[in-house]
Amino acid sequence: MTELVRIAENRQELVLNMGPHHPSTHGVLRFLVHTDGEVMSRAVPEVGYLHRGLEKMAESVNWAGYMPFTDRVNYLEAMFTNQVYAMAVERLLGVEVPERAEFLRVIACELNRLANHFITLGCITMDLGAFTPFVYLLRERETINDLIESLCGNRVTHNYMRIGGVAHDVDDDWLRHLEKFLDHFEPLIEEFRALIVGNEILVRRMAPVAVICAEDAVAWGLVGPNLRASGVDWDVRRDLPYSAYPQVEFSVPLGRDGQGDAQSIAGDCYQRFLVRVEEVRQSCRILRQCLQKLPAGDIKAKVPKLIKPPAAECYAAVEGARGEIGCYVVSDGGPKPYRVKWRTSSFSAMSIIEHISPGLMIADLVAVIATLDVIAPETDR
């Protein structure tokens, strides 16, 4: 039998292992929870169970051949990771992406944002005990999966974008189907709101729980909906515009004290939840505008067959569903990347959990993990 080692510091403390296998569907994440019965003294995250060495793999494949690997960095937001890698390389090459391709990228990314938020919102409610909204959102996500499958062939790990543009074009049929989906889905946001967003039990589980103030959020590197829920008004799409975003109008939801419920504070779990619900509506708005404004043209710029960017380095960032996804590429002039580094939002979000965990209950830890939207592939790469 293996040796049992005491980890707890004193005899009153219970050390629980919220192990890599856990029904909270956030991937293989592990927490060592030091607790006194119900209230935690701290929760130490352990990551690395899904480390696949994607950054090292970049050094052994071609620049263009790395695109499928970028899907795996975050398989729920594959379009964003595709786009940010393509943007970084395009900046090094000095390639200008055609207008139609930019709009197609935005359409694909916003669809991906919708799909991702469905999973996140569903998982938040499911982790708190309400299974039904998760199933409803998955039902809607099926249509998005069908749309994306007919666009690029895959339901996940899309490999849709290429350096210089996108891989496949869309036709009027697809656009009409997208519009039909939007017409079908937008009333459902109200239904979702009526069903679960204002539910007293949900609000009490999330309202003044795990408040992350704005200074902490910025210092610990939180991004995306987590950052905005803490009150920092920052969105890469609006503030450092890229792709076709300057040509579409959308508003960026922000967390506030008292929004949605009188006891809610900016930076608590409920604000993070509400910000994502509003982002779903804004994504629908962006999609409708893109449908109207989609120009005709090429879907891919002319790039050389063997891509060899000059010896320079570049950092590109997009606003993914979870926040800023950054890709830092270093080129040495050769056909393979010298170094690719992924800056992902879940990595920073995991690191703040140890800092905010003292004083929370185990049930709150589940709410925190769900609302910070931490997933394993992004954390471990």
Partner 1 sequence: MEAVEIKNLLQQQLGVDIEWCSDENGVGDPFAVVPAEKWLEACRLARGHEQLQFDYLRALTGTDRPEQEVIEVVAHLFSYRLRHPFVLKTRAQRTQPVLDSISAVWPAAEWYEREIFDLLGVDFRGHRDLRRIMMPDDWPGHPLRKDYQQPDDYHGIPTSRPRAEEQAND
Partner 2 sequence: MHSIYQAIEQLSLGPWGRDILFALAVLVVAAAVFMVALTIAGVLVWVERRVAGRVQSRIGPNRVGPIGILQWLADGLKLFMKEDLIPECADRPLYRLAPYLLMVGVFGAFAAVPFGQALIAADLNVGILYILAVTSLSAVGILMSGWASNNKWSLLGGIRSAAQIVSYEVPAALGVLSVVLLAGTLQMNGTEMAPGIIRSQGGWPWQWYIFHNPFALMAFFVYFTAAVAEGNRTPFDLPEAESELVAGFNTEYSGMRFAGFFLAEFANVYLMSAVATTLFFGGWQVPGLTPAEMQSSPWLQLLGLAVFVAKAGVGCFVVVWIRWTFPRLRVDQLMGLCYRYLIPIGFACLLGNAAYLLLVPAGSLADNVVHWATAAFGLLVLALFFWRVGYHLRRSGERLDLDLLARGRRGPFEPRWQHRAWGAHRRQAAKEA
Residue 35 bridge partners (DSSP): 14, 40
Taking the least distance from each CB to partner 1, the nearer of 147 and 212 is: 212
- String marking each residue 53-82 x if it binds partner 2 according to CB under 8 A: ------------------------------
Question: One-letter amino acid identity for 69?
Answer: F
**Long-range Cβ contacts of 175-181 (<8 Å, 24+ apart):** 175/291, 175/294, 177/147, 178/107, 178/111, 178/147, 178/287, 178/291, 179/288, 179/291, 181/143, 181/144, 181/147
Taking the least distance from each CB to partner 1, the nearer of 18 and 47 is: 47
- 167 interacts with partner 2 by CB under 8 A: no
With vertex at residue 103, the alpha carbon angle to CA 311 and CA 141, rounded to the nearest 5 degrees, is 110
- 130 interacts with partner 2 by CB under 8 A: yes
- String marking each residue 85-124 x if it binds partner 2 according to CB under 8 A: ----------------------------------------
Least separation in angstroms between residue 221's CB and partner 1 is: 3
| Residues of span 223-252 touching partner 1 by CB under 8 A | 232, 234, 239
| Residues of span 322-381 touching partner 1 by CB under 8 A | 324, 326, 328, 330-331, 338-339, 341, 343, 347-348, 350-352, 355, 380
> CA-CA distance, 341 to 346, in Å (whole number)?
14
User: How far does the chain reach from its first CA to its final CA, in angstroms?
Assistant: 34
Least separation in angstroms between residue 50's CB and partner 2 is: 20
DSSP state of 262: T
- String marking each residue 3-42 x if it binds partner 2 according to CB under 8 A: -----------x-xx----xxx------------xx----
Exposure pattern of 125-157 as b/e (b: 16+ CB <10 Å)?
bbbbebeebbebbeebbebbbebbeebbeeeee
- With CB under 8 A as the contact rule, which of the stretches 42-50, 69-77, 127-135, 307-315 interacts with partner 2? 127-135
> CA-CA distance, 73 to 157, in Å (whole number)?
9
- 263 interacts with partner 2 by CB under 8 A: no
Question: One-letter amino acid identity for 28?
Answer: V
The binder of 219, among partner 2, partner 1, none, by C-beta within 5 to 8 A per type, is partner 1
- 150 interacts with partner 2 by CB under 8 A: yes
Cβ–Cβ < 8 Å for 195, 117: no
Least separation in angstroms between residue 114's CB and partner 2 is: 17
Taking the least distance from each CB to partner 2, the nearer of 56 and 204 is: 204
- String marking each residue 176-205 x if it binds partner 2 according to CB under 8 A: -x--x---x--xx-------x--x-xx-xx
Residue for token digits 């995991």? 350
Task: Check residue 316 and give left, alpha or beta (phi > 0: left; psi -120 to 50: alpha).
Answer: beta
Alpha helix (H) ranges present in the chain? 54-57, 67-73, 78-93, 99-127, 132-152, 172-192, 200-206, 214-219, 224-229, 236-239, 269-293, 345-356, 362-372, 376-380
Least separation in angstroms between residue 39's CB and partner 1 is: 23
Contacting residues toward partner 1, per CB under 8 A: 47-48, 51, 53, 55-56, 59, 91-92, 94, 218-221, 232, 234, 239, 310, 312-315, 317, 324, 326, 328, 330-331, 338-339, 341, 343, 347-348, 350-352, 355, 380
Contacting residues toward partner 2, per CB under 8 A: 1, 14, 16-17, 22-24, 37-38, 125-132, 135-136, 139, 143, 146, 149-150, 153, 171, 173-174, 177, 180, 184, 187-188, 196, 199, 201-202, 204-205, 361-364, 366
